[in-house]
Structure 1
Amino acid sequence: MKPQTAVQHRPVDLAREHGISPQTVRNYERDGVIPPAERAESGHRRYTLIHASALRAYLALVAAHGYATAGDVMRAVAAGDLDTALRAVDRSHAQLLRDRETLDAVESAAHVLTAAPPPSPTAADRATAADRAGAAERAGAAGRVGSGERAGAVERVGGADRVGAGNRVGGAERAGGADRVGAGNRVGEAERVGLGERAGVVERVGGAGRVGAGDRATAGDRATAGDRATAAERALPIGAVAHRLGVRPATLRKWERAGILRPERDRATRQRVYRPADVRDAELAHLLRRGGYLLAHIATVVDQVRIAGGPEPLAASLATWRERLATRSRAMLTAAARLDEHLRALGR
């Protein structure tokens, strides 16, 4: 009896080593990922060291390559088709390499995007800035005009009081002694009344100026805030985005067919409209295209940026992504060792 078949195991013995149930071991046998078990006279399964090494290899392959690839490999080994088994392993390694290249491309693109200067102001942004500057200039001019009007009103009131007082003083000088005293009293009373009237006029004019300036500032603030909100939500047509990137609109439509861009359609005109997130995706695609990446690869990169919610959140998650790839790569090394042990146990 060969050493590989001398030791016999029950399903529970194989299951205990890996923390799985005996029924799971039976299911693996049914699916062909471990060899069929021999049966005792009582009908119970009898597993050997070959079954134990096959189970170790399969579970290691699952951790490294996934259930589908692991099943393909073990069924090919059981059928004696080593070439098919190794080809499946090679495809999985090639996929891991592509994943690493994708990570490098995303990391490079995210670094470029997060370090890039802010985009040039659009025509809408410049118009909004001009509106704000014009509103400020008009408010300043109105303030200067209001100040001049108030100063003129004060001067006219003061001049009228001074003329009136002079006339009354002249009348007092022409009158007699008693009249001069009465006129003097009237002059004093008139001056006090005149001062009170001037103060009231100045106060009313100043209050009106302050209210008017407040109204103008409030209206200007509301208009400026509305302009900013409108500019932030404004969508661009395909021609504007193409001009911004220096490409043809047909290029953007090609990127859309490749799954890179997902612009919405205007409900009225049914034309493509690009919102800020769509413009970001187009800029990233343009950057990677200049680097020589294929459209299918760019679609994967842009999708990762879209899932993360932008370049900044994506950049923060790249370290975790790289750790997952390293874990998978190490698992492939372990799976290769376990598969090699199983093949040696089979004498291949």
Structure 2
Amino acid sequence: MRPVDLAREHGLSAQAIRNYEDAGVLPAAERTAHGYRIYTPLHAQALRAFLGLVSGHGHQTATSIMQAFNQDATEDALRLIDESHRQLLDDRRTLQSVEAALRDLAPVPQERGDTYIGPLAGRLGVRPATLRKWENAGLVQPRRDPRTGYRIYSPADVRDARLVHQLRRGGYLVEQIAPLIAQVRCAGGVAPLESALLDWQARLSARGRAMLKGAAHLDAYLRAREL
């Protein structure tokens, strides 16, 4: 097969096929007397395996996996796959902790206007040093007055501080709170977060399914190499 024959099935360019070979994603091709590459069904299976892995593991990890297998570094390739699955499991656990934390939250009142560290600490019943500690951990991100250097807490910052305060009283650790606050900021508040969490769950599920599909193509490629 020519590069274009391999490329056509996946809507790629012939140059992309050559680049994949040069990168070690595809096994080295034999050449004609005039230097043209000759690809085989084994190369087609390698390409399917790589593209399947990309969907579940990402381009960089998929590239490293294929390079390792093509260099007969099987243990390195399997370790990369294991680490990618572990990352997916960690992401699932993070999602579960965020969902559990949300169930423990009381409604947060709508805030209006900016405030400073002293008044906010007084409203929450904590010391200003506690707010500074939360800021250092990235849980609250007040801006600074360019003239005085004082911390200025926007309504969104006050919302985050209230959420952190609730969760800390509920026994959550700072490292457990961080992903929740990040999701609240991304969603623009607690109310829209439910749909964001559903989308997050859907993306994790799609990633898991893609990993299964990529594994099937990879297994077919490895079996073909053994023939």
TM-score (norm. length: structure 1): 0.59
In structure 2, C-alpha distance between the alignment counterparts of 1:232 and 1:287, rounded to whole Å: 20
Q: 1:337 maps to which residue?
A: 216
* 1:1-348 correspondence to structure 2 within 5 Å: 9-113=1-105, 116-117=106-107, 119=109, 232-235=112-115, 237-289=116-168, 290-295=170-175, 297-347=176-226
The Cα RMSD (Å) is 2.4
* Contact 1:110 1:314 (8 Å CA) reproduced: no
In structure 2, C-alpha distance between the alignment counterparts of 1:338 and 1:95, rounded to whole Å: 21
In structure 2, C-alpha distance between the alignment counterparts of 1:118 and 1:44, rounded to whole Å: 67
Letter matched to residue 251 of structure 1: T
- Secondary structure of the equivalent of 2:226? coil
Q: Deviations over 1:304-332 (max 9, x none)?
A: 21121101112222222211111111001
In structure 1, C-alpha distance between the alignment counterparts of 2:38 and 2:165, rounded to whole Å: 62
In structure 2, C-alpha distance between the alignment counterparts of 1:286 and 1:347, rounded to whole Å: 59
Letter matched to residue 327 of structure 1: A
Change over 3 Å in CA distance of 1:234–1:43 after alignment to 2: closer
* Contact 2:114 2:152 (8 Å CA) reproduced: no
Q: Out of 264-273 and 40-49, give the one that drifted further.
A: 264-273
Q: Which runs of 5+ in 1 are unaligned?
A: 1-8, 122-230
Aligned residues: 226
Change over 3 Å in CA distance of 1:245–1:97 after alignment to 2: farther
In structure 2, C-alpha distance between the alignment counterparts of 1:118 and 1:70, rounded to whole Å: 43
Change over 3 Å in CA distance of 1:74–1:255 after alignment to 2: same
Q: 1:216 maps to which residue?
A: none
In structure 1, C-alpha distance between the alignment counterparts of 2:78 and 2:171, rounded to whole Å: 34
Letter matched to residue 203 of structure 2: R
* Higher helix content, 1 or 2: 1
Q: CA deviation at 1:81?
A: 1.1
In structure 2, C-alpha distance between the alignment counterparts of 1:95 and 1:287, rounded to whole Å: 29
Letter matched to residue 33 of structure 1: V
Q: CA deviation at 1:249?
A: 2.8
Q: CA deviation at 1:291?
A: 4.2
Q: Deviations over 1:36-84 (max 9, x none)?
A: 1100123221112321221111101111111110111111111111111
Question: Identity rate of aligned residues, in percent?
Answer: 54
* Contact 2:27 2:43 (8 Å CA) reproduced: yes
- Secondary structure of the equivalent of 1:315? helix
Change over 3 Å in CA distance of 1:341–1:291 after alignment to 2: farther
Q: Deviations over 1:249-302 (max 9, x none)?
A: 33322221222210122345422232321121122233444444452x533321
Change over 3 Å in CA distance of 1:322–1:75 after alignment to 2: same
Max Rg structure: 1
* Contact 2:26 2:47 (8 Å CA) reproduced: yes
